[in-house]
Every structure is written in C-alpha cells, then in structure tokens.
Amino acid sequence: MATFLFDDIIFGPVRSRRLGNSLGINLLPQTKKICNFNCLYCECGLTNVPSSDNLKGMPAREEVRSELERTLNEFIRSNRKIDTITFAGNGEPTLHPSFSQIIDDTIELRKKYIPSSKIAVLSNATLVSKKEIKDALLKIDFNILKLDSAREETIRKINCPLGEFSLEKLIDKLHSFKENLTIQTLFVKGKYKGYSFDNSSDEELKGWLRLLKDLHPKLVMVYTIARDAPIETIEKISEEKLHSIASKVRRLGIPVTIST
C-alpha cells in the first residue's frame, strides 16, 4: 500500500488528530526512514536494517534552528495560529545526535515567538535510558511515548524492534517520568508472516490497563490507523471499540483522548 515520507525539515502546520494545529519538525533524512522499530502500521513504510551511514542526510542542529525561526517569523507576520510544535517525521526523532540541543533551541524559539504553544515529541521511548534524551523529554509539554502492548511478544509482532529490546527495562524507564508522561497506543489487528495479532483483545487490554494503572500517566492517547500502512493485511479498530477502551482508561482516573 502507498506510504509517504516528509520532504522538509519543517512541515505543516497540519490539523493533528491529537495536537490541534501542529507544526511538524522532521529531524530525519528527507529521502529515507530511520528508526529502531519496524512497526507494521507505519505510514512512512517499513524500516531498512540500520546501517553505519544512517546519520547521513540528517539536518544539522543549526539548520533546524534556522528553518524553525524562519517559519515562526512567517507565521507571526501572517497571524496564523500554532497550537503545538511537534517532533515527528521520518522515523524516531531521538536518534538525531543533537536531539537534546535541538529541544533547547526549540524551547528558546517558542518562548520568543509563540509562548502560548506547546512542544511535543512522538517517540517509541527506546532511548530514554540515555540521560540526555530523558532530560530533554522532561523539559517539554508532551513527551508522547509509544506503548502498544503490555506483552513483549505482541510488541515484537506489531512494532518489530530492530536490535536489542526489553519491555521490562522500558517500563522501568517509563516509571521514572512519574507524572510527566503521556502514553500513546495504536490499536490494530491483522496477520503477517503466518501469525495473527490484535492488541485490542480482552486479554491484551487487561494487561495494558493494569500497566497503565501502575504507570499512571498524565494522559493516554488511543487511536488506530488513519492512512495507508505498508502491510495490506492490517485492519483498523472500530470507533466504537476505541471509545470502549477509552472508557476503561477513564475508570482508572486517567485522562484519555481518542483519535479515529
């Protein structure tokens, strides 16, 4: 199925299902996806095995700052609204070697031009074990960290981590965020390479809700696929099912948003 890559450092703003009028920042190359996950539902397509030249094509810190400042200047002059500056793009943004410094630059420019806006990062959370990454995420408004299942087996089926991965270690790091944590979960079902998956099943939800109760994030975002995915055998979850899942989260006393 058709997928796409973002072909600019700064893109949008787009009307985000979760973040309002969102100005995007892509820290990855414009011609390829770089990620340490290979999620079957990713709108940017499947991930090639990481190689030694993956850093090639990433924009320099100075280039990101310059492009962001130029864009914010244009928006201020035209009186256009930006609700959120969102790090997303062609893969995992925290893989950029200057990620923490770019976050500092963005906080500075946000304060100068659009102090009422928020800063968000969409991440798979695998690099939060690095102090500089965690510290950077703790400085922003929404560190939106992926947790598609409470079972490592399911994560390996749906998210397909590349390289070393331990759900137990990841959960331990998520605990360290305490109240400054937003969890995002994409619910999906399907078949791939001879196995089936459905992270919205009753059994899956029981473990996921138990984990949310333990982590108690400040917000949970639940959604399903909205664009083409690289695997044709993937199915989106119904809106009715998403609302049912959200109601279970609310009963834990945790705020939740739904995107359909």
pLDDT band at 17 (very low <50, low <70, confident <90, very high): low
| End-to-end Cα separation, the chain, in angstroms | 20
Stretch among 23-27, 50-54, 70-74, 128-132 having the lowest mean pLDDT? 50-54
Domain 10-259 is found in CATH 3.40.50.720: no
143-155 mean pLDDT: 97
**Alpha carbon distances (Å) from 13 to 22, 199, 241, 244:** 5, 31, 29, 31
Stretch among 4-8, 59-63, 144-148, 167-171 having the lowest mean pLDDT? 4-8
pTM: 0.92
What does the pLDDT read at residue 4? 78
What does the pLDDT read at residue 136? 98
Q: What is the mean pLDDT of the chain?
A: 92
Q: Which residues contact 162 (CB under 8 A, 6 or more apart)?
A: 35, 36, 37, 38, 47, 49, 50
What does the pLDDT read at residue 54? 66
Q: Report domain extents, the chain.
A: 10-259
**Cross-strand bridge partners of residue 145:** 123, 183
Q: Using CA atoms, how far apart are residues 2 and 4, in angstroms rounded to an integer? A: 7
What does the pLDDT read at residue 229? 81
Q: What is the pLDDT of residues 178-231, one digit of tens each?
A: 889 999 999 999 999 889 999 999 999 999 999 999 999 999 999 998 877 888
pLDDT band at 53 (very low <50, low <70, confident <90, very high): low
